[in-house]
Amino acid sequence: MDVWKHSRLSARKFGGDPADYAEIHGFLDSSKLFCYHIKHRLLLHNLYGVELAMQLFGDFIQNAAGETVLVRDVAAAHCREDLDGRVPTLYDWLRNSPELEDFISADPGSGQVSDPPSDSDDAAGMPPDSGDPEIDEFARRAYRRTGLRSALAIAYSDFGVYLIERFFGAERATRFAASVVQPQWKIKDFLERFQFSEEWQHSPQTREIAWLKADSRRKISDLDRRNLSGDANPKATGDGSVRITRVSREF
Ligand SMILES: [Zn+2]
């Protein structure tokens, strides 16, 4: 489901205009820019992603109707619409993928890891510090939320560099990328290895899909009606004929 469809559903559920919600949905689907496959949902379509959306946009927004809407509710609705009514944890996504636990290795064999192993159990097997404590805290959050090393891939990858850029700016993201992230830690490779284990992981909510289809049909028949009555704004095609352009917003 694309950002426009989610935004239309949000306007129906929370009032206001679809555009009021586009930024929140755009953020949750930003992982599509790193993996053009429905597996991208693993990264932010969960309560960790809801938490990040709240950090980025605040606890609430005001829509065009002047109503206050919780960012948490909009982000959770996005998860439900894509995941058969579920708002899973990140742990729910990764719990059945032990084979991904070693994707982020503390010693990738590049010779670049210079820090000696820490004597702290918590830090054992962790990627090295970047020298920026606030960024390190952010980068390890997905691990702290799940207790799974596989979750480290979200931040210690090209996708994590994007997230850090979004939250902390390009300069600190560049330093993080240069000092910590290994070139082979690509989120696309990680997601390619991930195997779906539950139906909800790849099943949009059928009820909402049906509403979107019915809503589109309503809009098209309104357009046709206006066209018949001469109110439409048709495009000239250059050969003298006229056609109505219907924009497909699929993916
Ligand atoms: Zn989505």
CA of 72 to the centre of ligand 1 (A): 15
183 and 141 fall within a common domain = yes
Question: Do 88 and 142 reside in the same domain of the chain?
Answer: no
What is the spatial distance between Cα 250 and Cα 220, in angstroms, rounded to a whole number? 16
Query: CA separation (Å) from 226 to 162, 201, 243?
Result: 44, 41, 13
Question: What is the chain's mean pLDDT, rounded?
Answer: 87
What is the domain count for the chain? 2
Is residue 73 included in any domain, yes or no?
yes
Question: Positive or negative, the Cα torsion across 124, 161, 198, 100?
Answer: negative
Does residue 30 lie in a domain region? yes
Q: Distance, CA 226 to ligand 1 centroid (Å)? A: 33
* DSSP per-residue string spanning 51-107: HHHHHHH-SEEE-TTS-EEEHHHHHHHHHHHHTTT----HHHHHTT-GGGTTSS-S-
Distance 149 CA to ligand 1 centre (A): 24
- Using the mean position of ligand 1's atoms as its centre, give its distance from the Cα of residue 238 in Å: 38
Provide the domain limits for residue 53: 3-92+200-208
Is 233 contained in some domain?
no
The mean-pLDDT minimum among 25-34, 128-137, 238-247 falls in: 238-247
| CB-CB contact of 157 with 181 (8 Å) | yes
The tens digit of pLDDT for each residue in 174-224 reads 999 999 999 999 999 999 999 999 999 999 999 999 999 999 898 888 877
Q: How many Å apart are CA 52 and CA 49, to the nearest integer? A: 5
Write down the pTM of the prediction: 0.82
Residue 121, in any domain of the structure: yes
Q: Which of 193, 216, 236 represents a domain boundary (last residue)?
A: 193
Residue 223 lies in a domain: no
Instruction: Measure 74 CA to ligand 1 centroid, in angstroms.
Output: 12
Query: pLDDT (tens digit, 9 = 90+) per residue, 57-91?
Result: 999 999 999 999 999 999 999 999 999 999 999 99
Residue 137 lies inside a defined structural domain of this protein: yes
**126 CA to middle of ligand 1, Å?**
29
Task: Give the distance (Å) from ligand 1 centre to CA of residue 179.
Answer: 31
Check whether 142 has a pLDDT greater than 60.
yes
List alpha helices for the chain, DSSP H. 3-14, 22-28, 41-44, 47-57, 71-82, 90-94, 133-139, 141-146, 152-155, 158-168, 170-179, 187-193, 206-228
CA of 168 to the centre of ligand 1 (A): 23
The alpha carbon of 45 and the centre of ligand 1 are apart by a number of angstroms equal to: 7
Domain-embedded: residue 239: no
228 confidence band (pLDDT: 50, 70, 90) = confident
Asked if the structure places residue 220 within a domain, the reply is no
Do 104 and 162 have their domain in common? yes
